[in-house]
Amino acid sequence: EGAKGMLLQGPKAVGELEGKVLEADLEENGLTLHIAKSLVGEGEGIFLGATPGVMLSVVPAGSIMCGYGIGELRDTAEGDKAVAFGYTNADQYVVWEEECLTLAEVLDIVQKNTSSSSSSSSSSSSEIRLLGHKISHFDGEWEVEPTDAMVFVPDPVTDVDDYTWQNLGQKCNDLALPVSSREDYEKNQSKNVLSLMYNLKLVDGELTPVQLLCVTTQDFRVVSSDPVEVGITYGYRFWDAKEKLKESSQ
């Protein structure tokens, strides 16, 4: 594999993709993104291939592929595309100024900037706010816990005319499925090359999610224009909650 990462693998169509509704070049990565009938689940899926004329496309971990949706934060979930906003530890990843960083790294940056712009010689964690969370800083370690239940609810994408770079991620499937336990899910998770990460910005002095993005979690390379279906990690908790909701409504 080397520095170029693994060869992108996944479900491939035999012949042409069926039901293709969109094709867009991701020029920065030398890739072409397709939305067509999924090979692993119902509805559509996202496929990636090298742009014709590009012999090798190398995509590093932490690359932003597209947005997940345009929507809003609410206190309750609605629909089957809602994604929780909450951090239980500072080692979880976020996007900050187009970079993939841990929440702890972002908090360090914000603390340093707050401290340097403050007239006082030191800065405490009480000066740093994260929407819906309590933040503590002890012995150089950040502790974070949610104080409010918040869920990002994207606007539905029902028509090809609704597709934009900001909402294509809703068409990406989780290739770790089907599973019956958290352990099985974690074993299969490597089949996915994308993950959902919130893009944080300071809004009125508070770290606030402004976008939900689909970000690569591993280095990979693409050597063929033949489209490969790619997967995104939603997490076992997402699917378990969805299954329980289905059972309770029956």
Q: pLDDT (tens digit, 9 = 90+) per residue, 65-97?
A: 999 999 999 999 888 889 999 999 999 999 999
- Rounded CA-CA distance 198/141 in Å is 22
Whether residue 119 is predicted with pLDDT greater than 60 in this model: the reply is no
Q: Show the CA angle centred on residue 105, arms to residues 64 and 175, nearest 5°.
A: 40
122 to each of 138, 183, 223, 239, how far by Cα in Å? 14, 44, 51, 44
HSE, side-chain direction, 13 A CA sphere, residue 18: 10
| pLDDT greater at residue 103 or residue 27 | 103
Whether residue 229 is predicted with pLDDT greater than 60 in this model: the reply is yes
Contact in structure between 129 and 135 (CB atoms under 8 Å): yes
Whether residue 120 is predicted with pLDDT greater than 60 in this model: the reply is no
- Report the pLDDT value the prediction gives residue 1, as an integer from 0 to 100: 47
Domain span including residue 44: 2-248
- Report the pLDDT value the prediction gives residue 245, as an integer from 0 to 100: 64
Q: Give the tens place of pLDDT for each residue, 173-212.
A: 999 888 888 898 888 888 999 999 999 999 999 999 999 9
- Report the pLDDT value the prediction gives residue 102, as an integer from 0 to 100: 98
Mean pLDDT, range 107-133, rounded to an integer:
77
Query: How confident is residue 121, by pLDDT bands cut at 50, 70 and 90?
Result: very low
Mean pLDDT, range 18-44, rounded to an integer:
93
| pLDDT greater at residue 47 or residue 3 | 47
Checking phi first, is residue 139 left (phi over 0); if not, alpha (psi -120 to 50) or beta?
left
What is the phi/psi pair of residue 9, to 5°? -125, 155
- Of 107, 101, 190, 118, the closest CA to residue 144 belongs to 107
- Percent pLDDT > 70 in the chain is 91
- Number of domains composing the chain: 1
Q: Within the chain, where are the H helices? A: 103-117, 182-188, 236-248
Residues in the chain: 250
The SS3 assignment for 242 reads helix
The SS3 assignment for 89 reads coil
Contact in structure between 245 and 65 (CB atoms under 8 Å): no
- Percent pLDDT > 90 in the chain is 69
